[in-house]
Structure 1
Amino acid sequence: MRATLIDDLPDEKLATAVADLVRPGGRWRKVDRGYTQAQQWIVRWPDGRSVFVKSGTDALTWGWLEAEIGVYAAVDAPWMPRLVASAGDGQGCGPVLVLEDLHEAQWPDPWEDTMVAAVVATLEEVHARTAPAGLPPLSDRRDVLHGWPLVARDPRPFLSTGLAGARWLERALPVLEAASARADLSGDALLHLDLRSDNICRHRGQVKLVDWTWACRGNPVFDTCAWLPSLHAEGGPRPERIAPGQPEFAAMLAGYFCSQAGLPPQQPGSQRRAVQRAQAAAALPWAARELGLPDPGDAPREGVPR
């Protein structure tokens, strides 16, 4: 999905940092995707050169950006955007990451079979890499990913999404929770962990994976599976066509998205919950099919318990 560009002016400190790292001047245009709290920019100069600039807005996004800069410093591969420059604290504005400009690349909207196959092949290359030292293990995020206990404690946010009814949830929850708990997250492969159409493009025939904020090490099959709900929600094939026979990962991913989709927005104007609901709408039926449960979409919609 290609982002929208909006003419805007950066903070003076950020403009100075990019002038020091790359060159001064240029036309700044803000990248509007709505999925991230970080600021993203395309800067283009009169001679045609352009770069992508990413900066944080607070301590949380600064930490995310520092982690992403660490990945670019440790991994050099054709499926990553080319690193132009970076700074740990550019002119007092926090970390700054400057990458090649991929705005004019081919972004999957809609998904085509050839692009899906190219991404699958690229993920095989990514997962053949041993994760750099220092990347956290995927297993550290098990408590966040294993979302069914959160739904069990308070099912109202999930039920408010309309994806299933209370009776269906009562029957399915023990099966889903047990399957999710069995998911094997261990491994040493490099994982991206945030694949969606806004993080995948093809540039000069090469698939590029962008936004490495959540990179970690672990089971590569989970990384592929984590992409599949958004792929299906965006018009791609059912998840089991790409990764058949993965009931535990399907249950875990459904639990994560279902535990998040009905919560209040994290910030005004954020599209995160809408994206998570779309992913939940793809992941939950996938988990049901893998585990032999009734289709949640066929269940009657009882009222949300109060």
Structure 2
Amino acid sequence: MTTTPRADSAPVPTATNDRLPWEEVPERVRSAVEDRLGSRVVTARTQSGGFSPGVAARVQLADGRRAFIKAVSAELNPDSPRFHRSEALIARRIPPQAPVPQLLADEDLDGWVVLVFEDIDGVMPSEPWHLPDLRRVLDATLDLAATLDPAPIESPTIEGRYGDMFAGFRAMADDPWPDPWTRRHARRLAEAEAEWARACAGSVLVHADLRADNILLTQDRVVFVDWAHGAVGAPWFDVVFLAGSVIMHNGREGIDVLDEHLAERAVDPEAVNCVLTAATGFFLYQSLQPIPPNLAGLRDFQRVQGEATLGWLRERTGWS
């Protein structure tokens, strides 16, 4: 296993990928979706953000309605159709009062999975984050958790969703990440990581994959999109998982806001540290794996997230 860390001088990567235009989806699939919607697509504007190589487009229908379409096939990426199917199952059951786009239609045809959502008139948070926007999003996770507790659907727990993957430091035990602090505390990190599932047990349906590109800010609300990984657990899990994509852009300022928010919620610091350890190990170890088809930027993004949360973890543990 090669564990060469990313050069500090390299630019911070973003969660983005080349998207397939809606017009390049097979005509039979497009026609089936339009039949479900009762109107044809007249314009489709591809959107940035996220790693899926499939379609992500805001569309205008002939009857004047707007919608947001996601579509992918196994040919583009073998795992992405499974994620789209998971998102459809979750989106159908999330209550309408939750700040989540309504699923208007979905189609599974000829190896293509297509999801059609209401179009949200909002924008992704800027990166680096504006701190008022970050505080607004963190506060919104409180409201989200209150709306989705208890979980309105039968969904895997966070342990069921990530159990095999939240073992990065244990997987790297014989060849730790090439950072002096990590090597010095390799055993302690593995032991702390092993407690993560107990630390974040709960009854809330959490997003479990929160980043700036999965959030839309409107004039009066925060909307959480892309629910393929939704899972049941502690209401603060999303805050810890979001941390990597915050700290990689905002550094010290981001850490201060995160610490302040978790303290206000009175979350057990040791529980946070266990989950933060698992998330950091996940990002670092996954960054060393082969690059998935058509997801060229994913591993570098995971590496930088892991390095960002590793710094926060060093600070929170106080280990020398």
Aligned counterpart, 1:299: none
Name the CA distance, whole Å, in 2 between partners of 1:2 and 1:36.
Answer: 10
Q: How far is the alpha carbon of 1:12 from its aligned partner?
A: 1.0
Structure 1 contact 13–93 (Cα < 8 Å) conserved = no
Which of 27, 49, 64 matches 2:83? 64
Name the CA distance, whole Å, in 1 between partners of 2:228 and 2:295.
Answer: 21
Aligned counterpart, 2:138: 120
Q: Please tell me the residue identity of whatever aligns with 2:69.
A: V
Indicate how the Cα distance of structure 1 residues 269 and 189 shifts in structure 2: closer, same or farther if over 3 A, else same: closer
Structure 1 contact 180–251 (Cα < 8 Å) conserved = yes
SS of the counterpart of 2:205?
A: strand
Alignment pair present for 1:50 and 2:69:
no
Q: Please tell me the residue identity of whatever aligns with 2:318.
A: G
Aligned counterpart, 2:230: 215
Alignment pair present for 1:177 and 2:190:
yes
Q: Please tell me the residue identity of whatever aligns with 1:146.
A: A
Structure 1 contact 137–218 (Cα < 8 Å) conserved = yes
Indicate how the Cα distance of structure 1 residues 182 and 109 shifts in structure 2: closer, same or farther if over 3 A, else same: same
Aligned counterpart, 1:30: 46
Aligned counterpart, 1:108: 125
Unaligned runs of 5+ in 2: 1-13, 264-268
Which of 31, 36, 52 matches 1:21? 36
SS of the counterpart of 1:126?
A: helix
Name the CA distance, whole Å, in 1 between partners of 2:299 and 2:241.
Answer: 17
Alignment of 1:195-214 (within 5 A): 195-214=210-229
Name the CA distance, whole Å, in 1 between partners of 2:54 and 2:47.
Answer: 10
Name the CA distance, whole Å, in 1 between partners of 2:144 and 2:33.
Answer: 30
Name the CA distance, whole Å, in 2 between partners of 1:199 and 1:150.
Answer: 29
Alignment of 1:253-268 (within 5 A): 253-268=279-294
Identical pairs, percent: 24
Q: How far is the alpha carbon of 1:66 from its aligned partner?
A: 1.6
Name the CA distance, whole Å, in 2 between partners of 1:170 and 1:123.
Answer: 34
Q: How far is the alpha carbon of 1:17 from its aligned partner?
A: 2.1
Indicate how the Cα distance of structure 1 residues 20 and 268 shifts in structure 2: closer, same or farther if over 3 A, else same: closer
Name the CA distance, whole Å, in 1 between partners of 2:103 and 2:219.
Answer: 17
Name the CA distance, whole Å, in 2 between partners of 1:254 and 1:242.
Answer: 20
Alignment pair present for 1:282 and 2:308:
yes
Which of 146, 164, 169 matches 1:143? 164
TM-score in terms of structure 1 length: 0.83
RMSD (Å) for aligned C-alpha atoms: 2.6
Count matched residues. Answer: 283
SS of the counterpart of 1:255?
A: helix
SS of the counterpart of 1:97?
A: strand
Cα deviation, 1:41-100, whole Å, max 9, x if unaligned, reads 22224675321111231263222212111111111234101322223x25x354321112
TM-score in terms of structure 2 length: 0.79
Cα deviation, 1:240-277, whole Å, max 9, x if unaligned, reads 33335222122111111111123332124521112112
